[in-house]
Structure 1
Amino acid sequence: MILIPQIRDLMREIHLKPVAGHYKIGIIVGADRMNADAANAFLKTLEEPPPRSVLLLLSTDPHRLLETVRSRCLHVPVAFEAKASINPELKSWLYEVTKQLISTPPDIVTKYKVLGLILAKLQEMRNQIETQLTKESPLEIYATQDLPEETREKWKEELAAQIEAEYRHARSELMKALTQYFRDVWLLTMGMDKKLLYYPDLQTTMEVAQRLNPKQAVSNIQILHRAHKILFTNVQELLVLESAILQLHL
């Protein structure tokens, strides 16, 4: 259990000027072990950290953190995932997208080309989902039978809802793949070992990392994470993705 006295010690230290270097870094290991009082005491520092300071909250179970704490943090997954969990089709697509990042200057034209590739892939996913689920739908199976219109309307609504749910899941996987890539970029800007990367054999990652500093790289993760969350609302998909891609540091 992490208690108020320990948090106050950290807060006192983080407000002191660094003895060496330009930044002070405070690390809370097992941040989910903060009790409610300690977490609440930490909020003020988390909201307004001292200049040139970085606060890292490490947790294997971040959902146990208070919502008020989580909402003020940038969630950066750093644990390695087995490559088997990476969708091979999305991985292949990601290779093509990232080639675009280095084939042309990192300007607005490049960003719109990347956006175009994302939108095309999403449309392909939706078409595949619609085709597959329609084929499996009772609307298709009983197409030649004389059924009440009420039943057909119900099946249409159920099919539409199922297609939308499956599409949102597929879109989430695509956003996850993009975020994983830019996480790799961030790790390389920090000089981390390639063994930690999701896509260690992707050559473009280092080229993009060499153009960015760690602050820009982590900002990209934040931009994509925010866009991913907004996509679950009623905001138009195109507007969310366009805004996110145009904000990226490339």
Structure 2
Amino acid sequence: MRHRSRPGFRPALEGIEARTLLSTMSNLLSHSQAKQAAIASQAATDPDALPPNPLYFPTGQPTRHEIARQRFVAKFAGPFTVGAGRFSSEAQQLYLRGSGGSNQFLHGDTQLAIITPTDPSQPLGGSMSLFDRNINTNSSLGFELTANPATDLDSAGRPVRLTITQLDSNVSGGVYAGAIAEGTVEIRYKPSAPRSRKVFSQGTALVTIRAQIYTAGTGSILRNTDIDPGGPSQGGPNR
């Protein structure tokens, strides 16, 4: 049987007519190029030339409402111990723990450590950490402290008045993330006897904090408790 011959087909490229790009796509590309140029320009900007963020570094005079919002008062009570320093430059160290509360959180805890230098001309220095016992707020507050050895010590050399120099950003978080603080810490001591071995003094301390704390107002997750997290069928936002 003779096979039927088939015409040959060979692949070939054909030219197409030139067309202009659709206007929608042109707009998208143009917008993307402009956006990329803006990002590159922003990246090249000198950060030192930019003004401070007004949310974190406000200027001008605060309103009466803002002054009231910043007011912070806290009181704690707990054991304290004064002992020898851990370095040759330290005359002694104070450490105390306490529980209490404030006008900004109901129940809290605190820890405080202060170093007295061997050089009597140098100021005392230390830090204080406060923790909200309501773990839902995820908030903690830290202060860096100083005291004048000529005016801020009692007869036993313990600090009775400390000045808050700034917020400790390594400790502060939650509501107090990025906050600014100033104020004082006052301590009253009730020594007990007998003392533990190698301890200069110990007993119970009463701590009072009076400060102004400015917060940005964007660090409290509890502010969102009235928002339904569900989808549109549950009254939540569209996705």
TM-score, reference length from structure 2:
0.23
TM-score, reference length from structure 1:
0.22
Higher strand share: 2
Greater Cα radius of gyration, structure 1 or 2: 2
